[in-house]
A = this chain, B = another copy of it.
Amino acid sequence: MKYLLLSLHFLFCVKLYEAKVVITADTTGPFVHKRPSLDTYNQQRQHVIEKQERRFLGADLMLTNDEKIVNSHIMKLKRAEMDEGFKDSFQFIPARHIFEKLDQLNSSKLFQLIRRIPKGAVLHAHDTAIGSTDLLINATYRPNLWQNGRFESNTPPTFVFSKTKPDGKGWELVSKVRNEMTAEIYDEKLRDLFGLYTKDPINTYKSINVVWDKFQQLFTTIGPIINYEPVWRQYYYDSLKEFYDDQVNYLELRGVLPEVYDLTGKIYSPEEIVQIYVEETKRFIHNYPDFIGAKFVYAPPRFGDDDVFRGFIKILKSLHEKFPKFVAGFDLVGQEDTGRALLEFVPELLKLPESIQFFFHSGETNWYGMKTDANLIDAILLGTKRIGHGFALIKHPLLLEEIKQRQICVEINPISNQVLKLVEDYRNHPAALFFADDYPVVVSSDDPSFWRATPLSHDFYMAFVGIASAQHDLRMLKQLAINSIQFSAMDKVDKARAMRKWESLWNGTMQTLASDISKGNLK
């Protein structure tokens, strides 16, 4: 079968090539065919539009009556925002930096509706950047937290939990500093410190390296707070609750497994940290039975040398053995442009058992033909199950064919791509082609905490209003949710169970929304 396919493909390409030559040699006469009548023209036009729409992500789905009611309401809201923006795109949320438009976005009726829709899973998020800033601020109210330094702009304070004052000059109890500054001012300082948000993002983050430096610094700043075992536990649990409240019912999170510690001086092993995740996930499902679950992808930094990397591989194998189901596989994190190329790790990666799956970040770059977008080739050749970002895929037609044919899912993170300076205007995001041509994609949120976004709804909004066509409707949102389960690392049985859970939520929500809309009760 495969060979027949290949030979057909070959024939097809040859024929196209011949066709091209013939046409090129023949462009001397009038190029147009005989002009059709207006009636024929309109028929042809309708045909093209329909043919185009049949290729959209979600175009195969048939909407129920409830869904049709919800859809026409959603499309009314979407169309209104787009028509308004069309008059002056400076007023259009996805044409601008999210930081400049966050208030407008949060008060958008369409956004509020998207929040209510069951969105399936988040398949691309980093464990210490998934919870709202409030969760982190709350954590700083725990006793025994110390800080070194106040809030001078160049050197952010360092934090640590400790029973006694840490060694060295300058340590003060957070509770004391907060009292001095008043909680209101202090917490506002923390809020600025714990994210990338600024009122003037255009002039604050002039280059990709500037924003990435601050971004990577953030993980260091919050590390000693979040890595404190009681916080680690609660931050994860509370984050799940935030996902749940945002109508996200399953999560595959990436993590570096940092040095989690407690007041006794104990440093938790990678296995113990993952065990915490397993326990808290169980506890959460127990409390919220329609939550589907979570898995973990071990994703250490791409900066270490070969020795460091072999250390990661050792941890990976141990985790794989101890948590064959919860630990889904492996990835590498950190700015791809400045980090090591995937190619350098290939010899070690090829030695891994096939049961360890890959979920590589690749092509998270503006560069073309450099080592960073070459990561796409290696990710695919290594058999990656999904591609993190794949922003540069659009420049690789051969790889585009490959991911479509092999159904390698691309995890699109719209807001992350804007904040981290890959794209300025959502309408230029390359995922537009993926939505237009039903590529295997999911929309995800990467590090929503750092840009004051909800677990998924802000990204869904940007994908739906900014990246997708004005014609893309509820079917696209539904297909994205379906994809997020289909392309998860769950096994067949779990996937079927997850689909049933999600479908039941979806149908229930559609019924409620349709009823509210029909009664005019939807605010």
Q: Are A397 and B437 in contact (CB under 8 A)?
A: yes
Q: Are A207 and B8 in contact (CB under 8 A)?
A: no
Q: Are A370 and B470 in contact (CB under 8 A)?
A: yes
Q: Which of B37, B343, B436 contacts A396 (CB 8 A)?
A: B436
Q: Are A32 and B382 in contact (CB under 8 A)?
A: yes
A8-B12 contact, Cβ under 8 Å, with A27-B487, A469-B395 = yes
Q: Are B30 and A90 in contact (CB under 8 A)?
A: no
* Among A38, A346, A370, A472: residue with most chain B CB under 10 A: A370
Q: Are B352 and A35 in contact (CB under 8 A)?
A: yes
What interface size band does chain A fall in?
35 or more
A348-372 CB mask vs B (1 if < 8 Å, else 0) is: 0011101101100000001111100
Q: Are A354 and B89 in contact (CB under 8 A)?
A: no
Distance of A136 Cα from B12 Cα, bound (Å): 53
Distance of A385 Cα from B405 Cα, bound (Å): 33
Q: Are B23 and A406 in contact (CB under 8 A)?
A: yes
Distance of A148 Cα from B11 Cα, bound (Å): 68
Shortest distance in angstroms between A1's beta carbon and chain B's nearest beta carbon? 8
A523 at the interface (CB under 8 A from B): no
Distance of A37 Cα from B346 Cα, bound (Å): 10
Residue of B nearest to A18 (CB): B1
With a cutoff of 8 Å between Cβ atoms, the chain B residues found around residue A490 in the complex are 28
A8-25 CB mask vs B (1 if < 8 Å, else 0) is: 110110011001100110
Q: List 23 A-B contacts (CB under 8 A).
A: A5-B16, A19-B405, A20-B405, A23-B407, A24-B407, A24-B486, A27-B407, A28-B495, A32-B354, A33-B383, A35-B350, A36-B350, A41-B350, A52-B396, A203-B203, A366-B425, A366-B428, A367-B427, A368-B470, A369-B468, A394-B394, A396-B436, A422-B428
Q: Known contacts A44-B381, A369-B468; can you find 9 more A-B pairs with CB under 8 A? A: A5-B12, A32-B357, A35-B354, A36-B350, A48-B398, A86-B367, A95-B366, A395-B433, A397-B436
